């Protein structure tokens, strides 16, 4: 049986949940520059692909970061470029802007103060359901989970690493124009 | 050009430069394509680097159907239909793996790594009259070209070499090692696959030189680079202005293969000088070294790196191969293979992977906008009024293409860089294949007469 959460742990979880919901609001309200401010300068934003492999070879299911191809493998510089592209007004895939909603749930703190994260860092796992509706009738749903590493920078939580595990093999949408 | 029937000419009229929208929507034409085009053409199904060892296999597609691409104990590459000969079940359900047997999950018919039927339950008692050798998984003809694997179902099809019709000259440059040696490329792990609501032909003809300035305007504005990141060389000074660039051409073959070719010239910069690599120092240093070796091997032709779109559904973007798999008239599944030099340092491969991820594929800043347009043109062409309006491929219709510069031995029909000639030729070939009963009727007639003095005469213009 899991240990009961202490008052401090409970408060931390609420704080982290609130952070993730606030982040989702920024994305869904197209406040991308403010969203970028939530990322550390050395952030890694990685979305591996998932292969169909034997259940005995699940270690080969995910494409490996920096070695194999991913849906996304980004640093802050390229995420900033993506935001700048959306702001040009001629990025046709997001012109007009898509209607996007992020549902974030199943938030759990994985590590804090353990050797898996640096000092002042915490790992948090969550599920996402991202819905994109575009123009008249284009409609996409992406479901999966994320593992984030959050870091305290000047008293504020920042995302220093986001791993995005999308539950698709063949991507069932024509493109990926939004952030997870 | 093969004479088209009046019905086919109504759909594809190369003389007037028009194409009916029906060929992107009509279910009957689509069904005919599956038989006439996909069941007879040579199709890209993978690369040897994906299956280096005996028993290694990957899945591929030929038309709508899945195939297993497998290396047998004989070390040869075999391609066979992923459908059990017993009751039709999918035999292999994994994208990749290593196995010398493929066991059907329905009744256990078991095939080896060459597709042969090697075991079946109750064989001794129940199938005493059956000849197992006749019930292997359906074999495709296979040819390997510079590591790339091609297959066709058609026993009467010409060899892959003949099918290429001279474009092998270019295809080899796309598949070779950066240092100019014949082999040595590999596919980065993870074939990127996604579904797009457009007809499979829409992305196929190469190159569409006049779309970039507006389709990819946001990439240029936000990232300050050419639309594709210009992976091989800085040609911006020549290609931005509309008008003939001195040495860039659209090149096609009567067999339906289309590409863009820049004729190498003395003084061309090395590949490492491209601005694409400003933020990728490991790639730049690597290219500096390997391009020198390439020049020693290939001389002036070292500068040539062409990704030809091989008819019907293979295409290139830089060193990226993408295959447009049909999934119904208005749905395509694109599979994308990203190439690097097998023996490049990991740091170089990582920078290249990041580069590919930024520009190409469904998340790529460039390709996102292509997909938006391809989907939107599909939606906007659906209605009965739009369906009756032919599409326009008339750019430089009055300028017949010329044979390439013989001093370099460069094959193909060369047309203006800003021209619809490649599209016209692609759809003409499509129409020929659609109506032809056999390969005899498909034999392309060599189109324009050679003009050896074309280079001397202002590039033939």
- What is the tens place of the pLDDT at every residue in A21-51? 999 999 999 999 999 999 999 999 999 999 9
Mean pLDDT (whole number) for B325-348: 97
- State yes or no: pLDDT of B88 exceeds 70: yes
Residue B1 confidence (pLDDT): 67
User: A127 CA to chain B: closest CA distance, Å?
Assistant: 21
Nearest CA in chain A to B333: A170
Q: Is A27 contained in some domain? A: yes
CATH label of the domain that carries residue B397: 3.90.380.10
Looking at the structure, tell me whether residues B404 and B442 fall in a common domain.
Answer: yes
User: Does the beta carbon of A1 lie under 8 angstroms from any beta carbon of chain B?
Assistant: no
Residue A113 confidence (pLDDT): 59
Mean pLDDT (whole number) for B306-315: 96
Query: Domain residues for A39?
Result: 7-166
Q: Is B432 contained in some domain? A: yes
Residue B124 confidence (pLDDT): 75
Of A103-107, B39-43, B247-251, B387-391, give the lowest mean pLDDT range. Answer: B247-251
Nearest CA in chain A to B357: A72
Q: Report CA-CA distances (Å) from B227 to A44, A95, B223.
A: 25, 18, 9
pLDDT tier for residue B455 given thresholds of 50, 70 and 90? very low
- State yes or no: pLDDT of B454 exceeds 80: no
Q: Report CA-CA distances (Å) from B335 to A176, B59, B63, B339, B361.
A: 15, 11, 12, 13, 9
CB contact under 8 A, A91 and B368: yes
Q: Is A96 contained in some domain? A: yes
Residue B424 confidence (pLDDT): 96
Strand partners for A48:
A70
pLDDT tier for residue B129 given thresholds of 50, 70 and 90? confident
Looking at the structure, tell me whether residues B48 and B180 fall in a common domain.
Answer: no
Q: Is B90 contained in some domain? A: yes
Pairing state between β B43-47 and A156-166: unpaired
Q: Is A179 contained in some domain? A: no
CB contact under 8 A, A69 and B188: yes
Share of chain B above pLDDT 90, in %: 75
Looking at the structure, tell me whether residues B175 and B227 fall in a common domain.
Answer: yes
Size of interface A-B (CB pairs under 8 A): 139
Looking at the structure, tell me whether residues B137 and B191 fall in a common domain.
Answer: no
Indicate the helix (H) or strand (E) that contains A101: strand A99-112
| Alpha-carbon torsion (B282, B287, B292, B297), positive or negative | positive
CB contact under 8 A, A54 and B197: no
Distance, in Å, from the CA atom of B270 to the CA atom of B276, rounded to the nearest integer, reads 13
CB contact under 8 A, A67 and B358: no
Looking at the structure, tell me whether residues B202 and B119 fall in a common domain.
Answer: no
Query: Domain residues for B299?
Result: 169-460
- State yes or no: pLDDT of B456 exceeds 90: no
Residue A92 confidence (pLDDT): 98
User: A8 CA to chain B: closest CA distance, Å?
Assistant: 40
Domain count, chain B: 2
Looking at the structure, tell me whether residues B87 and B226 fall in a common domain.
Answer: no
Please give the backbone phi and psi of residue B342, each rounded to the nearest 5 degrees, phi first.
-60, -40
User: Does the beta carbon of A70 lie under 8 angstroms from any beta carbon of chain B?
Assistant: yes
Of B97-111, B177-191, B408-422, give the lowest mean pLDDT range. Answer: B408-422
Strand partners for A133:
A99, A139
Domain count, chain A: 1
- State yes or no: pLDDT of B209 exceeds 90: no
Q: Is A154 contained in some domain? A: yes
- State yes or no: pLDDT of B166 exceeds 60: yes
Residue B183 confidence (pLDDT): 81
Looking at the structure, tell me whether residues B121 and B195 fall in a common domain.
Answer: no
- What is the tens place of the pLDDT at every residue in B378-432? 999 999 999 999 999 999 999 888 887 766 778 999 998 889 999 999 999 999 9
Nearest CA in chain B to A135: B376
Looking at the structure, tell me whether residues B118 and B222 fall in a common domain.
Answer: no
Q: Is A39 contained in some domain? A: yes
Residue B232 confidence (pLDDT): 33
pLDDT tier for residue B17 given thresholds of 50, 70 and 90? very high
Looking at the structure, tell me whether residues B117 and B250 fall in a common domain.
Answer: no
Q: Is A2 contained in some domain? A: no
Q: Is A174 contained in some domain? A: no
Q: Report CA-CA distances (Å) from B221 to A85, A179, B208.
A: 7, 20, 20
Using CB atoms and an 8 Å cut-off, which of residues 134-163 of chain A contact chain B?
A: 138
| ipTM value | 0.94
Identify from A93, A136, A169 which residue to disrupt to test chain B contact, counting B C-beta atoms within 10 A and taking the largest count: A93
Residue B244 confidence (pLDDT): 45
Contacts of A67 in chain B (CB under 8 A): 189, 346, 349-350, 353
Mean pLDDT (whole number) for B30-52: 98
Task: Look at residues B102, B123, B142 and tell me which one is the last residue of a structural domain.
Answer: B142
Mean pLDDT (whole number) for B19-38: 97
Q: Is A70 contained in some domain? A: yes
Looking at the structure, tell me whether residues B336 and B232 fall in a common domain.
Answer: yes
CATH label of the domain that carries residue A12: 3.10.450.50
Looking at the structure, tell me whether residues B70 and B203 fall in a common domain.
Answer: no
CATH label of the domain that carries residue B103: 2.102.10.10
User: A36 CA to chain B: closest CA distance, Å?
Assistant: 16
What is the DSSP track for A66-100? TTS-EEEEE-HHHHHHHHHHHHTS--GGGSSPPEE
Looking at the structure, tell me whether residues B183 and B132 fall in a common domain.
Answer: no
């Amino acid at each position: 049986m899991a240990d009961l959460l202490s008052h401090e742990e409970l408060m931390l979880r609420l704080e982290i949940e609130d952070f993730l919901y606030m982040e989702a609001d920024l994305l869904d309200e197209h406040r991308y520059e403010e969203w970028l401010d939530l990322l550390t300068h050395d952030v890694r934003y990685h979305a591996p692909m998932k292969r169909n492999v034997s259940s005995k070879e699940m270690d080969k299911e995910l494409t490996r970061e920096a070695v194999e191809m991913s849906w996304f493998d980004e640093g802050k510089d390229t995420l900033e470029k993506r935001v700048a592209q959306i702001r040009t007004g001629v990025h046709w895939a997001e012109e007009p802007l898509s209607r996007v909603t992020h549902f974030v749930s199943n938030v759990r703190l994985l590590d804090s103060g353990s050797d898996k994260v640096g000092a002042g860092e915490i790992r948090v796992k969550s599920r996402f359901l991202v819905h994109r509706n575009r123009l008249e009738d284009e409609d996409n749903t992406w479901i999966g989970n994320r593992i984030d590493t959050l870091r305290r920078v000047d008293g504020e939580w920042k995302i220093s690493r986001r791993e995005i595990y999308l539950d698709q093999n063949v991507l069932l949408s024509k493109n990926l124009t939004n952030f997870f | 050009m093969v004479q088209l029937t009046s019905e086919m000419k109504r759909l594809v009229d190369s003389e007037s430069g028009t194409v009916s929208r029906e060929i992107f929507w009509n279910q009957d034409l689509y069904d005919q394509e599956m038989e006439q085009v996909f069941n007879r053409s040579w199709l890209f199904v993978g690369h040897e680097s994906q299956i280096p060892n005996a028993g290694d296999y990957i899945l591929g597609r030929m038309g709508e159907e899945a195939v297993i691409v497998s290396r047998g104990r004989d070390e040869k590459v075999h391609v066979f239909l992923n459908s059990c000969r017993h009751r039709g079940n999918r035999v292999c359900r994994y994208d990749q793996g290593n196995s010398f047997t493929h066991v059907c999950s329905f009744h256990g018919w078991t095939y080896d790594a060459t597709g042969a039927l090697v075991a079946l339950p109750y064989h001794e008692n129940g199938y005493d009259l059956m000849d197992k050798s006749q019930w292997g998984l359906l074999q495709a003809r296979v040819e390997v070209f510079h590591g790339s694997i091609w297959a066709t179902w058609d026993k009467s099809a010409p060899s892959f070499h003949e099918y290429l019709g001279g474009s092998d000259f270019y295809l080899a440059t796309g598949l070779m090692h950066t240092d100019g040696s014949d082999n040595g490329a590999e596919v980065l792990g993870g074939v990127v696959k996604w579904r797009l609501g457009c007809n499979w032909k829409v992305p196929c003809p190469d190159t569409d030189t006049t779309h970039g300035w507006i389709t990819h305007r946001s990439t240029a504005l936000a990232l300050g680079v050419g639309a594709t990141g210009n992976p091989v060389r800085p040609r911006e000074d020549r290609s931005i202005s509309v008008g003939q660039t001195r040495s860039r051409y659209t090149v096609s073959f009567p067999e339906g293969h289309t590409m863009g070719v820049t004729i190498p010239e003395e003084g061309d910069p090395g590949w490492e000088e491209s601005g694409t690599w400003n933020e990728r120092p490991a790639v730049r240093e690597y290219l500096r070294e390997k391009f020198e070796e390439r020049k020693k091997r290939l001389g002036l032709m070292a500068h040539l790196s062409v990704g030809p779109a091989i008819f019907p559904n293979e295409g290139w973007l830089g060193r990226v191969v993408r295959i447009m798999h049909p999934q119904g008239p208005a749905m395509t599944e694109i599979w994308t293979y990203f190439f690097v030099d097998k023996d490049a340092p990991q740091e170089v491969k990582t920078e290249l992977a990041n580069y590919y991820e930024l520009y190409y594929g469904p998340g790529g800043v460039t390709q996102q906008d292509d997909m938006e347009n391809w989907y939107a043109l599909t939606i906007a062409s659906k209605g009965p009024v739009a369906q009756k309006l032919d599409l326009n491929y008339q750019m430089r219709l009055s300028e017949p293409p010329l044979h390439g510069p013989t001093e370099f031995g460069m094959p193909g029909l060369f047309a203006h860089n800003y021209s619809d000639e490649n599209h016209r030729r692609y759809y003409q070939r499509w129409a020929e294949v659609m109506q032809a009963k056999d390969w005899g009727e498909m034999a392309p007639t060599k189109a324009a007469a050679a003009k050896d003095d074309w280079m001397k005469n202002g590039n033939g213009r």
